[in-house]
Amino acid sequence: MMAMVFYLAKGSSMSLSKLPYKGTRDFFPTEMRKRDFIFNRMKKIAELHGYEAYDGPMVEEVELYLAKSGEELINEQIYSFIDRGDRKVAIRPEMTPTLARMVAQVHREFPKPLRWYAIPNLMRYEKPQKGRLREHWQFNCDIFGAPEALGEIEILQVASGLLKSFGATEEHFEILLNDRRLVDAFFKQTLNFDSERSHKLYKVLDKAKKVSNEALGKMLDELIPESVKKNQFVHYLNLKTFSDVDNFLTMYGLKDAAAGFVSFYKKLSSTGLSKIVVYDPTIVRGLDYYTGVVFEIFDKSPENRRAICGGGAYGNLLQIFNEPAMGGVGFGLGDVTLTDFLETHKLLPEFKAQDCDVLISYLEDSLEPQAFELAHKLRELNIKTELHLGEAKPKKVFQYAEKKGHKSVTIIGSEEVKNGSFEFKRLRDQEKAVISLNQLSELKEFLELTHG
Amino acid sequence: MMAMVFYLAKGSSMSLSKLPYKGTRDFFPTEMRKRDFIFNRMKKIAELHGYEAYDGPMVEEVELYLAKSGEELINEQIYSFIDRGDRKVAIRPEMTPTLARMVAQVHREFPKPLRWYAIPNLMRYEKPQKGRLREHWQFNCDIFGAPEALGEIEILQVASGLLKSFGATEEHFEILLNDRRLVDAFFKQTLNFDSERSHKLYKVLDKAKKVSNEALGKMLDELIPESVKKNQFVHYLNLKTFSDVDNFLTMYGLKDAAAGFVSFYKKLSSTGLSKIVVYDPTIVRGLDYYTGVVFEIFDKSPENRRAICGGGAYGNLLQIFNEPAMGGVGFGLGDVTLTDFLETHKLLPEFKAQDCDVLISYLEDSLEPQAFELAHKLRELNIKTELHLGEAKPKKVFQYAEKKGHKSVTIIGSEEVKNGSFEFKRLRDQEKAVISLNQLSELKEFLELTHG
């Protein structure tokens, strides 16, 4: 096989592409620092709310997605293939099916509610464009078995809390929200639609924001030829506030059927969320598995007017596994759309410098063992230490340290080794400190290190 | 689609498996705490040595693996498939090809050496067994462009430093090490083998530890019928120390050809590594892309006698991308074998309790808004707060808090809301503290919190 490597290296026409697979990303150290910064905020906000981390495999058997999701997703967006054991498997396109499978396995062992979060990498066969890539990471938070309406409120707090933790406010984003119980009841009881017609109308609603008014009107003319029903539907489409919704439910006698939603928006008003949550009749979250509250978080900037996050309540996922029903509420928030949002509103710091405390260099090769020893001792004290390998001139060492963003530099000569003490230069202000081998923890104070 | 969910839920014969795909794992919160503990150690040891995090996509075009790896891997162990755009892609079975591709893209922009690390999830089509799963996570550290022998020493320090950070010592593990320059020179110059015969002999070496002495003898009889050469090869196979190696290289006149290795083991003796590094003539790292030092870290326990980690120096990977040669040294260390090692030697703590600071409960639904508000204020102070949703009896709340491992509990009644102060009970010792809404940070001292 080595032969082949050499062959390729020699035959220039055979050289390989350096670029990542279409629609995926390479995370070089600067990008990775940004990603870690964002992921750490996700972990922090989840844990501040009592959520515990979980993870699952990056592939699942395809049946799992067939059982709970839209056919559209299976046919067009999923990365699926047959394995060598004739199993049909797929790279996970979303986390909720895996989550439901895992909760179905163990829910009896845990006190309720379960609060779980994850940040998996997911793949969908998308046409790459702004905000959409084939591989992304998605922050998922879910609560299972919470009392009615309260799980929904908490989940909205976690999702909006994440954005607020970056400094975003109601000027930057809003939560557009609806409820499948309301829509179901309205379609069935008021419009008197059977499930097939309801299904089609759901599809229209899901597209309502993406098409022109003319196109929308045409779709509605086809699907609702009856003028009374069409007027009722237009009434529905014009609902703008929870007070509008309350009147609408009363007028059509739907309050009982949508009681869970009524309870939700009444509780909502006593939380800090009511400023950022807006009722929106077109939010239905596609043909997905939701059964109650559904929501999307939208960027309010006209330059980046898109959903950053989607979620809602689902009542029936555990039943797919022959487990008793237990309601869940959750959301997924992708790193690509989140980063677009944060960059649109200039809510991210810069991530230029590596976080490294000290660079050690030495004047002669004979001092290498001492340099390795000093590095070892500093690392034992949790001091991030880079050893500049090989003999080097001090001037070059300092240039390198500046470029890499080191906090300090020490250069070992034979004098230093003889005295057992080293001069550390702090690059921020060029201050110096001489510290002996037995007192190396003084370097932490000198550099004002908070880690370790 | 909802109809399908209901159908599946009702038809019990259709229920889905709750288990993960063969050879993969579900990480429930307890397993995830263990994983995070291990991954955090990996990140810490890498960053203490000045390594920067990177990551790449979970799929790559198959050509990348064909160009640098053994055919065995491509044919039998890789998860590959054709995408909808007729690209042949594979789920990453290892990280080094991605790393080389990324370094080839950007190496000109960075001062040398580059020190990068990652903890990607990888998939190989394995027969699942102890220490081998189809999906695992692998700690990868690599250094590019380091002076001769010094990158190798640093990489060995990082790998062994990780194990030491869990409390492992030379009683628990050893680093078995060899050098491809030595083997290549011996095969070519001493045995006078052409590349085809060398290739076969490499395969024999790679299997030497896994087969019986008889089987090994038989393979050697076939491949080396010449008795002089066979004696030379047996001499090689009996090398046990670097001093043996030094004599061997002198005797056969191979010192110049293996000069890089000589320089390496001379430096080695002045580092703390010489206690744990053992020369082993059978270590060659398969038919892989290594060109210099190669090593494996072995568990010394007879109950878990296996490799935890493999790595080495490679000189030609960048050339596949038509870039000038730049030497790299690195290792991969899998989470499955590492966990087996740590558990064999009882080097892992228990991971039972969730880390949560306070559980808030309330006596009546009317106090919900105040409970949400208190939770919000505590979280703003970086206090990990779970809100017990819904009315609940104090006795049940305390039972739940004990079970979940909370540090403290507060129960809100109308008195507390009127006074604007709350009684927090510390579960460890049942001590109580009354803290007012304006002084909530006092709770941090009461609970001796170090985070935030």
What's the order of all strands across the beta sheet hosting B421-426?
B385-387, B356-362, B406-412, B421-426, B432-436
Pair B248, B262: CB distance under 8 Å? no
The reply to whether residue B79 touches residue A81, judged by beta carbons under 8 angstroms, is: yes
Token pair for B164? 């030491």
Token pair for B200? 């076969």
Please report, to the nearest 10 degrees, the dihedral formed by the alpha carbons of residues B287, B288, B293, B297 taken in order: -90
Pair B279, B244: CB distance under 8 Å? yes
Say if A106 is an interface residue toward chain B (CB within 8 Å): yes
**What is the per-residue DSSP string for A66-82?**
HHHS-HHIIIII--EEE
Q: For residue A118, name the pLDDT band (cuts at 50, 70, 90).
A: very high
* 3 state SS of A424: strand
For A400-410, the pLDDT digits (tens) are 999 999 999 99
Q: Give just the sign of the alpha carbon dihedral B147, B150, B152, B154.
A: negative
* Residue B429 CB-density burial (10 A; 0-12 exposed, 13-18 middle, 19+ buried): exposed
Say if B62 is an interface residue toward chain A (CB within 8 Å): no
Residue type, A265: Y
The reply to whether residue B58 touches residue A135, judged by beta carbons under 8 angstroms, is: yes
Give the C-alpha separation, B88 to B81, whole Å.
Answer: 6
Give the C-alpha separation, A119 to A101, whole Å.
Answer: 17
Cβ-based contacts of B355 with chain A (< 8 Å):
47
The reply to whether residue A70 touches residue B1, judged by beta carbons under 8 angstroms, is: yes
Distance from CA of A225 to the nearest CA of B (A): 25
Model pLDDT, residue A128: 84
Please check the confidence at residue A374 and state whether its pLDDT lies above 60: yes
Please check the confidence at residue A4 and state whether its pLDDT lies above 70: no
Distance from CA of A298 to the nearest CA of B (A): 23
Say if A450 is an interface residue toward chain B (CB within 8 Å): no
C-beta neighbour count of B175 within 10 angstroms: 22
Pair B280, B294: CB distance under 8 Å? no
Residues of B (311-330) whose Cβ lies below 8 Å from A? 316-317, 319-322
Most B CBs within 10 Å: which of A7, A21, A99, as the mutation test of the B interface? A21
In angstroms, how far is CA A447 from the centroid of its own chain? 34
**What is the DSSP-derived secondary structure letter of residue B379?**
H
Token pair for B46? 């890498």
Q: Give just the sign of the alpha carbon dihedral A419, A425, A431, A436.
A: negative
Give the C-alpha separation, A186 to A29, whole Å.
Answer: 52
For domain B356-447, give the fold: Rossmann fold (3.40.50)
Distance from CA of B404 to the nearest CA of A (A): 8
Which residue in A has a C-alpha nearest to residue B59's C-alpha?
A: A21
Q: How many A-B residue pairs are in contact by the CB < 8 A criterion?
A: 300
Residues of A (380-439) whose Cβ lies below 8 Å from B? 382-387, 389-390, 400, 403-404
Say if B127 is an interface residue toward chain A (CB within 8 Å): no
In angstroms, how far is CA A433 from the centroid of its own chain? 44
Question: B20: cis peptide before it, omega within 30°?
Answer: no
For domain B25-167+300-352, give the fold: BirA Bifunctional Protein; domain 2 (3.30.930)
What's the order of all strands across the beta sheet hosting B80-82?
B59-61, B88-91, B80-82
Give the C-alpha separation, B440 to B449, whole Å.
Answer: 13
Distance from CA of B70 to the nearest CA of A (A): 6
Helices (H), ranges, B213-258 = 213-223, 227-237, 242-251
ipTM of the complex model: 0.93
Please check the confidence at residue A151 and state whether its pLDDT lies above 90: yes
Q: Give just the sign of the alpha carbon dihedral A387, A389, A390, A393.
A: negative
Q: Which of A16, A25, A157 sits opposite B64 (nearest CB)?
A: A16
CATH architecture classification, A356-446: 3-Layer(aba) Sandwich (3.40)
Most B CBs within 10 Å: which of A47, A87, A125, A140, as the mutation test of the B interface? A47
Model pLDDT, residue B75: 61
Pair B424, B408: CB distance under 8 Å? yes
Say if A157 is an interface residue toward chain B (CB within 8 Å): yes
Most B CBs within 10 Å: which of A64, A108, A290, A320, as the mutation test of the B interface? A320
Terminus-to-terminus CA distance in chain B, angstroms? 45
The reply to whether residue A79 touches residue B81, judged by beta carbons under 8 angstroms, is: yes
For B114-171, the pLDDT digits (tens) are 999 999 999 999 888 888 899 999 999 999 999 989 999 999 999 999 999 999 999 9
Break chain B down into helix, strand, coil percent, rounded to 5: 45, 20, 35
Which residue in A has a C-alpha nearest to residue B1's C-alpha?
A: A70
Please check the confidence at residue A79 and state whether its pLDDT lies above 70: yes
Distance from CA of B195 to the nearest CA of A (A): 9
Most A CBs within 10 Å: which of B6, B7, B13, B21, as the mutation test of the A interface? B21
The reply to whether residue B54 touches residue A36, judged by beta carbons under 8 angstroms, is: no
Say if A18 is an interface residue toward chain B (CB within 8 Å): yes
Q: Which of B61, B385, B390 sits opposite A21 (nearest CB)?
A: B61
The reply to whether residue B4 touches residue A67, judged by beta carbons under 8 angstroms, is: yes
Which residue in B has a C-alpha nearest to residue A116's C-alpha?
A: B29
Cβ-based contacts of A8 with chain B (< 8 Å):
67, 319-320
The full set of domain ranges for chain B reads 25-167+300-352, 173-297, 356-447
Break chain A down into helix, strand, coil percent, rounded to 5: 45, 20, 35
For B251-295, the pLDDT digits (tens) are 999 999 999 999 999 999 888 899 999 999 999 997 678 999 999
Say if A11 is an interface residue toward chain B (CB within 8 Å): no
Cβ-based contacts of B61 with chain A (< 8 Å):
17, 21
The reply to whether residue A63 touches residue B322, judged by beta carbons under 8 angstroms, is: no
* 3 state SS of B149: coil
Phi first, then psi, for residue B217 (nearest 5°) are: -55, -40
Cβ-based contacts of A316 with chain B (< 8 Å):
5-6, 9
Model pLDDT, residue B7: 36
Looking at 1.10.3720.10, 3.40.50.720, 3.30.930.10, 3.60.15.10, the CATH number of the domain B173-297 comes to 3.30.930.10
Give the C-alpha separation, A204 to A218, whole Å.
Answer: 11
Model pLDDT, residue B131: 82
The reply to whether residue A61 touches residue B368, judged by beta carbons under 8 angstroms, is: no
Most A CBs within 10 Å: which of B59, B82, B198, as the mutation test of the A interface? B59
Pair B295, B314: CB distance under 8 Å? no
Phi first, then psi, for residue A311 (nearest 5°) are: -170, -170
Pair B21, A60: CB distance under 8 Å? yes
Task: Kindly state the helix (H) or strand (E) to which residue A123 belongs, with its residue range.
Answer: strand A121-123
Please check the confidence at residue A302 and state whether its pLDDT lies above 80: yes
Give the C-alpha separation, A358 to B179, whole Å.
Answer: 32
Residues of A (285-314) whose Cβ lies below 8 Å from B? 287-289, 291
Distant-in-sequence, close-in-space partners of A74: CB < 8 Å, separation ≥ 6 = A62, A65, A66, A80
The reply to whether residue A18 touches residue B105, judged by beta carbons under 8 angstroms, is: yes
Q: How many CA atoms lie within 13 A of B193 on its CB side?
A: 22
Q: Which long-range contacts (CB under 8 A, 24 or more apart) does A241-245 make?
A: A241/A279, A242/A268, A242/A269, A242/A279, A244/A279, A245/A182, A245/A279
The reply to whether residue A289 touches residue B5, judged by beta carbons under 8 angstroms, is: yes
Token pair for B56? 């790449």
Cβ-based contacts of B400 with chain A (< 8 Å):
111
Closest to B452 (Cα-Cα) out of A158, A141, A379, A47: A47
The reply to whether residue A21 touches residue B57, judged by beta carbons under 8 angstroms, is: yes
Q: Which of B1, B368, B387 sits opposite A267 (nearest CB)?
A: B368
The reply to whether residue B56 touches residue A27, judged by beta carbons under 8 angstroms, is: yes
Q: Which of A3, A123, A404 sits opposite B58 (nearest CB)?
A: A123
Pair B290, B260: CB distance under 8 Å? no
Closest to A361 (Cα-Cα) out of A415, A399, A412: A412
Give the C-alpha separation, B385 to B359, whole Å.
Answer: 6
Distance from CA of B400 to the nearest CA of A (A): 7
Q: Which of B4, B15, B271 sits opposite A321 (nearest CB)?
A: B15
Q: Which of A154, A195, A319 sits opposite B389 (nearest CB)?
A: A154
Pair B8, A67: CB distance under 8 Å? yes
Its pTM stands at: 0.94
Give the C-alpha separation, A365 to A175, whole Å.
Answer: 62
Cβ-based contacts of A105 with chain B (< 8 Å):
18-19, 26
C-beta neighbour count of A343 within 10 angstroms: 12
Distance from CA of B320 to the nearest CA of A (A): 5
The reply to whether residue A20 touches residue B121, judged by beta carbons under 8 angstroms, is: no
Asked which of A66-75, A322-331, B73-82 is least confident by mean pLDDT, the reply is A66-75
Closest to B338 (Cα-Cα) out of B143, B152, B133: B133
Rg of chain B over Cα atoms, rounded to whole angstroms, equals: 29
Token pair for B434? 């009354």
Distant-in-sequence, close-in-space partners of A278: CB < 8 Å, separation ≥ 6 = A174, A175, A176, A177
Closest to B201 (Cα-Cα) out of B211, B210, B209, B191: B191
Please tell me if the domain spanning B173-297 has the same topology as the one spanning B356-447: no
Distance from CA of A104 to the nearest CA of B (A): 7
Q: How many CA atoms lie within 13 A of A395 on its CB side?
A: 0
Query: pLDDT tens string for chain B (452 positions)?
Result: 233 333 333 334 457 899 999 999 999 999 999 999 999 999 999 999 999 999 999 999 999 988 665 455 556 789 999 998 899 999 999 999 999 999 999 999 988 999 999 999 999 998 888 888 999 999 999 999 999 899 999 999 999 999 999 999 999 999 999 999 999 999 999 999 999 999 999 999 988 888 999 999 999 999 999 999 999 999 999 999 999 999 999 999 999 999 999 999 999 988 889 999 999 999 999 767 899 999 999 999 999 888 999 999 999 889 989 999 999 999 999 999 999 999 999 999 998 778 899 999 999 999 999 999 999 999 999 999 999 999 899 999 999 999 999 999 999 999 999 999 999 999 999 999 999 999 999 999 999 998 75
Pair B287, B203: CB distance under 8 Å? yes
A191 φψ region: left (φ > 0), alpha (ψ -120 to 50), beta (else): alpha
For A224-239, the pLDDT digits (tens) are 999 999 999 999 999 9
Please check the confidence at residue A10 and state whether its pLDDT lies above 60: no
